[in-house]
């Protein structure tokens, strides 16, 4: 039974509905994950990048595979565990941020529930292309809570906007500090692309906020589509201004875990080329942007090539060093998610639809 809206506190806090867990009949399920994995397009999107990575390793630059493998086997296990731990610290931070966004949209979800659903969505992103894990995440929330699917999509969208702004701004700041003694043409190009991206993102938000509804009215669209857009926009722009600073701080902490993971991987491998923490931020945030390219799961093949290119072209790493860093870093950020996430997926009640909680 749905609880009545909470009373505002001192007129400052908006009412929030605490939704119970329910298994809503009629909620249209997306294609099951097992069926997605049997789809030939999904298999190709996973296998083809792996073949390309292997071919590049064997043919381009005469990579010494013995040296590459040796570097990995000599890695400091304690530092690798630290890299693993700080990376997984990012998931409760992501869960907390999403719970704040959902609260702003009138939906109260616990930190545990939001973190669990995000982690399962992360698994899907590591297995299928096109960031379908974000769609699946919104569906899981709809399946387990009496919430609006379109409004939930709005919270996921604005979360990604926070991510993109933070990645670009942190990446630019880290790059400026890392290359304070002189900017190469390649770095200037990256900075230029980042600034253009930020500008386009800001313009897009401005258009949605001020002209989106008018554009929908002028288009010959069914009423259901317009209603979906209205709820989606409610989710996007439901953030209270007072929540923006904590959301920004949490987002910075989230992406700091990504950068520190890469930095600890470099330390674990014992490489001494001049990367530093600022360089780790720069490389890790570029890699994060590359995961947004929707052709392969988790940017498989694209991210590894991007990391190796930046490390060799800008920081002077050897191909063997860059390859070792890319492989170990992705083992933590992708392979471990597939292993642990699969266990969570099988054990979680969220994937089957929840049941009302006792008392």
d(CA 23, CA 183): 55
Question: How far from 172 is each of 129, 175, 193, 279, 280, CA to CA, in Å?
Answer: 27, 5, 10, 11, 12
The string over 257-290, giving b where at least 16 C-beta atoms fall within 10 Å of a residue's C-beta and e elsewhere, is bbbbbbbbbbbbbebeeebeebbbbbbbbbbbbb
Q: Quick check: is 291 in a domain?
A: yes
pTM beyond 0.85: no
Q: Quick check: is 258 in a domain?
A: yes
Domain count for the chain, please give it.
1
The total of other beta-carbon atoms located within 10 Å of residue 108's CB is 15
Q: Quick check: is 172 in a domain?
A: yes
Domain, as residue range, for 112? 39-53+63-352
DSSP 17: E
Q: Quick check: is 185 in a domain?
A: yes
Q: Quick check: is 189 in a domain?
A: yes
Q: Quick check: is 246 in a domain?
A: yes
Q: Is 180 exposed, middle or buried (0-12, 13-18, 19+ CB in 10 A)?
A: exposed
Q: Quick check: is 20 in a domain?
A: no
Q: Quick check: is 74 in a domain?
A: yes
Residue 224 · residue 150 · CB < 8 Å: no
pLDDT digits (tens, 9 = 90+) for 54-104: 655 554 556 777 888 899 999 999 999 999 999 999 999 999 999 999 988
Question: In the chain, what are the helix, strand and coil shares in percent, each to the nearest 5?
Answer: 75, 0, 25
- 3-class DSSP state for residue 335? helix
Q: DSSP letters along 273-331, please?
A: SS-HHHHHHHHHHHHHHHTT-TTSGGGTTHHHHHHHHHHHHTT---HHHHHHHHHHHHI
pLDDT digits (tens, 9 = 90+) for 267-285: 999 987 778 888 899 899 8
Q: What is the pLDDT of residue 214?
A: 78
pLDDT digits (tens, 9 = 90+) for 173-189: 887 887 776 666 766 77
Question: Highest-confidence range of 51-55, 59-63, 125-129, 218-222, by mean pLDDT?
Answer: 125-129
Query: Is the pLDDT assigned to residue 41 strictly greater than 70?
Result: no
d(CA 17, CA 326): 44
Instruction: Tokens for 43, please give them.
Output: 């298999």
Residue 355 · residue 23 · CB < 8 Å: yes
DSSP 243: G
Q: Which of 29-43, 129-143, 175-189 has the lowest mean pLDDT?
A: 29-43
């Amino acid at each position: 039974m749905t609880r009545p809206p909470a009373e505002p506190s001192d007129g400052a806090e908006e009412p929030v509905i605490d939704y119970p867990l329910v298994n809503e009949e009629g909620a249209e399920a997306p294609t099951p994950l097992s069926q997605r994995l049997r789809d030939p397009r999904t298999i190709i999107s996973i296998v083809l990048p792996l073949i390309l990575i292997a071919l590049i390793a064997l043919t381009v630059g005469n990579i010494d595979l013995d040296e590459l493998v040796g570097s990995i086997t000599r890695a400091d296990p304690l530092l690798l565990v630290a890299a693993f731990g700080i990376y997984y610290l990012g998931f409760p931070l992501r869960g907390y941020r999403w719970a704040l966004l959902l609260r702003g949209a009138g939906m109260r979800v616990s930190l545990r529930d939001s973190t669990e659903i995000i982690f399962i969505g992360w698994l899907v992103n590591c297995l299928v292309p096109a960031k379908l894990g974000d769609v699946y995440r919104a569906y899981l929330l709809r399946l387990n809570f009496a919430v609006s699917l379109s409004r939930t999509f709005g919270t996921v969208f604005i979360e990604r906007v926070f991510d993109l702004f933070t990645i670009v701004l942190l990446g630019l700041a880290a790059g400026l500090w890392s290359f304070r003694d002189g900017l190469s043409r390649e770095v200037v190009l990256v900075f230029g692309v980042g600034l253009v991206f930020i500008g386009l993102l800001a313009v897009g938000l401005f258009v949605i906020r001020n002209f989106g509804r008018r554009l929908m009215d002028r288009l010959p669209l069914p009423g259901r589509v317009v209603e979906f857009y209205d709820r989606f926009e409610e989710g996007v722009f439901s953030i209270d201004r007072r929540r923006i600073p904590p959301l920004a701080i949490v987002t910075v902490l989230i992406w700091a875990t990504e950068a520190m993971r890469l930095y600890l991987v470099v330390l674990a491998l014992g490489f001494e080329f001049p990367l530093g923490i600022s360089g780790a931020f720069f490389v890790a945030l570029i890699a994060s942007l590359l995961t947004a390219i929707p052709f392969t799961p988790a940017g498989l093949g694209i991210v590894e090539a991007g990391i190796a290119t930046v490390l060799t072209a800008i920081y002077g790493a050897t191909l063997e060093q860059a390859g070792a860093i890319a492989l170990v870093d992705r083992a933590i950020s992708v392979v471990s998610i597939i292993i642990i996430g699969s266990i969570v997926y099988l054990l979680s009640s969220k994937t089957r639809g929840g049941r009302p909680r006792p008392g």
